[in-house]
Structure 1
Amino acid sequence: MSDSEDDGPPQLSSHALAALQEFYAEQRLRTEPGADEKYNIGIIEENWLSQFWYCQETALRLAQEAMRAAGDGGRIACVSAPSVFQKLRELQGEGASACIFEYDKRFAIYGDQFVFYDYNKPLDLPDSITAHSFDIVVADPPYLSEECLQKTSETIRFLTRAKVLLCTGAVMEEEAARLLGVRMCKFIPQHTRNLANEFRCYVNYDSGLD
């Protein structure tokens, strides 16, 4: 590389540039009438650099499925699934209660419903969180890798009484089945922005997602 190239400003990749342009375009759209209904899941917004949240329709569908599976008075754990948790907050008057296990400390505003969670330490949880104390776990591992899914699965197995609703890449199907005994659903989750990898939902019970 020449000296002139070394001294020049850093260049974004085409993918990063496209994501940045999409982000700015979305910010402009948020100022239009009706933007809140389209973009806002809850009071905490997506951090586009590190989080990819579900669209409103997917967040609602997954929240409703979690509530159906948990049953009246059931408990739902959302592991790295912030948009589902916020949608559950909107629906909280309809029966089940939810907790968010999340690295993003902005969610501490939810008080006892927030549990700081680092997937690298899958069982490093407060004493108040006991084994098998949730009727269903909704999980979306933050990275599309076997290592991340393996560690997140430790958390899921500890938390759930039985039911698991996992969202991750289609390429993780065999690993997800091996670790959690889940199968792929027909329902395909959609995000607020287009992702390069195909995402799917997986469950280990008779769900409404087929």
Structure 2
Amino acid sequence: MSDSDDDIPTLSAHTLAALQEFYNETRTSSAHSTTTSNQFAVGAVEEDWRMSQFWYSDETAALLAEEVIREAGAGGRIACVSAPSVYQKLKQGVVEGSDHVSAVVFEYDRRFAAYGDNFIFYDYNEPLSLPAGVAPQSFDIVLADPPYLSEECLSKVAKTVKHLSKGKVLLCTGAIMENLARDLLDVKMCSFLPRHNRNLSNEFRCFVNYPSRLLSYRGAEPPI
């Protein structure tokens, strides 16, 4: 050891232990914060193709979240029927106004039960088999994304939508379902083109039964 090494300050064992404890607490706190903020991220729950799950892109999920927040209004209630990625975007708290509305996700996939009381198990084969606490016409807007492109599936989901909604409906499904969607829910096809994290083989569109900016907007990015 050189003479200069004698001048290097050293820390006592007590100080080192205190610093290590502080470091561990900081790391634990940071990890907890990250877990909490990411649990609602789109894709936090992986898609399961066996249940015909295809998550929206982050941009589309955000735009649809903005749309339902606007239409629900302050203090409004939003139902996401088989549309968990929009529910996740609402709960992330990154979309303006999300803290002024409440949202519920109706889902067959019980992995979403991790979201607590705002998860309601939903099987479209039993469209009106809902908990007693879910009152008819108790949601200001219902956003629905039927899992299958079939007349049977859309017809049954439409029964759920009409049971839940006070009036406003935002439907996301294949373009080939346009005529049936209009007959069942009196909705019009929007110009807005929703996107998914994975490309779908069928053209996918949004439909609404109320005046919406999505009707005349073209593209997949949020309008200015």
Q: TM-score range by the shorter chain?
A: 0.7 to 0.9
Find the aligned partners of 1:126 and 1:103 in 2 and give their Cα distance. 14
- 1:164: Cα distance to partner? 0.2
Quote the offset at 1:158 in angstroms: 0.1
Shift of 1:44: 2.2
2:156 to 151, 157, 162: 151
- Cα-to-partner distance string for 1:181-202 (whole Å, 9 max, x where unaligned): 0000110111101110000000
Q: Identity across aligned pairs (percent)?
A: 61
CA contact (8 A) 1:75 1:133 kept: yes
Structure 1 residue 131 corresponds to structure 2 residue 150:
no
Matches within 5 A, 1:1-210: 40-41=41-42, 43-50=44-51, 51-91=53-93, 93-210=98-215
Could you list the runs of 5+ residues in structure 2 that have no partner in the other structure? 1-37, 216-224
**Secondary structure of residue in 1 paired with 2:47:** coil
Distance across 2 between alignment mates of 1:93 and 1:45: 23
Hey, what's the Cα distance between the residues in 1 that align with 2:43 and 2:69? 18
Give me the whole-angstrom Cα distance separating, in 2, the residues matched to 1:202 and 1:133. Answer: 21
The alpha carbon displacement at 1:138 in A equals 0.3
Residues in 2 aligned to 1:206 and 1:96: alpha-carbon distance in whole angstroms: 20
Partner SS state of residue 161, structure 2: helix
SS at match of 2:143: strand
Aligned partner of 2:21 in structure 1 is none
Deviations 1:54-111 (A, max 9, x none): 0001000001100000000000000000111100111375311100000000111111
TM-score, normalised relative to structure 2? 0.74
Gaps of 5+ in 1: 1-36
Tell me how far apart the structure 1 counterparts of residues 99 and 120 of structure 2 sit (CA, whole Å).
22
1:19 corresponding residue in structure 2:
none
Count of residues in Structure 1 that have an aligned counterpart in Structure 2? 172
Q: Could you tell me whether the CA contact under 8 Å between 1:42 and 1:86 is conserved in 2?
A: no
Distance 2:64 2:211 in 1: 14
Contact 1:100 / 1:113 at 8 angstroms: preserved in 2? yes
- Provide the C-alpha distance between the structure 1 equivalents of 2:66 and 2:47, rounded to a whole number of angstroms: 21
C-alpha spacing 1:152/1:93, structure 2 compared with 1 (3 Å): closer
Residue-by-residue CA offset, 1:131-175 (whole Å, 9 max, x unaligned): 000000000000000100000000000000000000000000000
SS in 2 for 1:209: helix
**Which whole-Å CA distance do the structure 1 matches of 2:116 and 2:200 have between them?**
32
Give, as a single letter, the amino acid of the residue that structure 1 aligns with 2:108.
Y
- What root-mean-square deviation, in Å, do the aligned CA atoms of Structure 1 and Structure 2 show? 1.4
Shift of 1:53: 0.8
Aligned-pair CA distance for 1:47 = 2.4
